[in-house]
Chains A and B, each alone.
Chain A
Amino acid sequence: MASVAITPMESNFLVPNATFFVELAAFALLLFLLAKYVIPPINRAMTRRQDAIRAQFAELDEAKSEANAAEEEFKSQIADARHEAARIREEAREQGAAIIAEMREQAQAESTRIVEHAHAQIEADRKAAAASLRAEVGTLATTLAGRIVGESLDDEARQSRVVDRFLSDLEGAN
């Protein structure tokens, strides 16, 4: 009786039999093994790689900003150098102008000095010439006049009177 009732049940594929418990145990074991030994390392590896990628990105950003900063610095230095060069050129030009002006002044002074010196020299020469003239022209003239007039003009007093008159005449003629 019992076997008759059970036989159609056995063949009905919607009704589970004891295989159910085997499947339950098999899947539980699979779940345990995967959850304990397989999935944690995979999660760790993924996290590690993500961290590595994140770190690389951070490094990249850092390097980029560093490069930018270096470029900025380079540019500013170039600009500074240009500025400096311009300043130096300007300074040199000013200095050159100043030197030229100074030299010109010096030359001016020198030439003035030379001219004055020459004037003084000439004056001195003229004075010396006048003095020697005054000394010698008297004797020379009296000698000459004595020869012409035949009269000795050796008298000192007369001689000097004659000479003075001559000289004052000379000056008056001037």
Chain B
Amino acid sequence: MTGLISLTGLLPLAAEGHEEEESTIQIGHHRTAEWLGMTFNTDTIISTLVAGALVLILGFVVVRQMNKQTEDHVPTKTQILWESVVGEVNKQVNDNLGKVHPYVAPLAISLFFFILFANWLELVPTRLNDDAHLLPAPTADTNLTYALAAVTMVSVWAYGIRQKGTKGYFKHFLEPFPVLLPLNILEELTKPITLALRLFGNIFAGGIMLSLIGLIPIYAFWAPNLIWKAFDMFIGAIQAFIFALLTVLYFAMAGAGHEEHELHEEYEEEERRKKADAAHADEAAPVPAH
């Protein structure tokens, strides 16, 4: 209870909490370095490199395994992991974009694996004390999530403009009614922000929960710790999946402008047919009764 109170007291600004007492939880505190007048969060950068290196190692391990066994088509476990993710993403991209786009599919796959590993770094107990957390989840830093969202959205906009032409793409902002232009622009701007902050918030909150659980006396803390870490693992996977899926969906939305109308027309057509069938069935119904 005291932990919670001190936490709510700390929430707006973490800087003052530094010198209060031992059991404070520091929010958004990073080890930083200054270079060329800019601030770098060194812990986030190191965690990012670790997560990226893990993904790359896993990726190159798989490539080596696949090169080794050529005739025998039985995949290894790592290969199955990669292939199921790659296959699933390819399927999603194919369903939404009409083909396995050579940029979108690798982007979504990279996002998924990178975010997954970054999220799961949270679970590795590398928090030595309040000041030294060796590998905090880099996704609990908005710098990373903003960067990922920026890559995604810039790619999405570029894709939309290339698919429909500059004029066609911007005309889409006036549809279905020109009055909705502000809303359409707002929607386009909220996409990267929600993308970034959803991921950040989930992982950040997971970290806070772990810190809070860490305040529980040592003889009782293992049970909630275990349960929360299992749940956090699930959240990490879900968030990685959502980020990758939304990326694909944003590409699809940017690329296919008139799909919604067509879908609507198809739906109406379907309804009409159903009604006609029902009417026909009503007419036909008395006949077998005779």
Contact = CB atoms under 8 A, between A and B. Distances in A.
Contacts of A16: 142-143, 146
Contacts of A17: 32, 38-41, 143
A7 B14 CA distance: 11
A33 B94 CA distance: 22
B40 A19 contact: yes
Contacts of A19: 39-41, 44-45, 141, 143-144
A21 B144 CA distance: 9
B60 A20 contact: no
A39 B83 contact: no
Interface in B76-109: 79, 82-83, 86-87, 90, 103, 105-107, 109
A30 B143 contact: no
Nearest to B86: A42
A137 to B, nearest CB: 120
Nearest to B61: A38
Contact of A35 (B40, B90, B106, B204): B106
Contacts of A39: 86, 105-106, 109
Interface residues of A, number: 38
Interface of A: 7-8, 10-24, 26-31, 33-35, 37-39, 41-43, 45-46, 48-49, 52-53
Interface of B: 13-15, 27-29, 32, 35, 38-41, 44-45, 48-49, 52, 55-56, 59-60, 62-63, 66-67, 73, 75, 79, 82-83, 86-87, 90, 103, 105-107, 109-110, 113-114, 138, 141-144, 146-148, 150-151, 197, 204
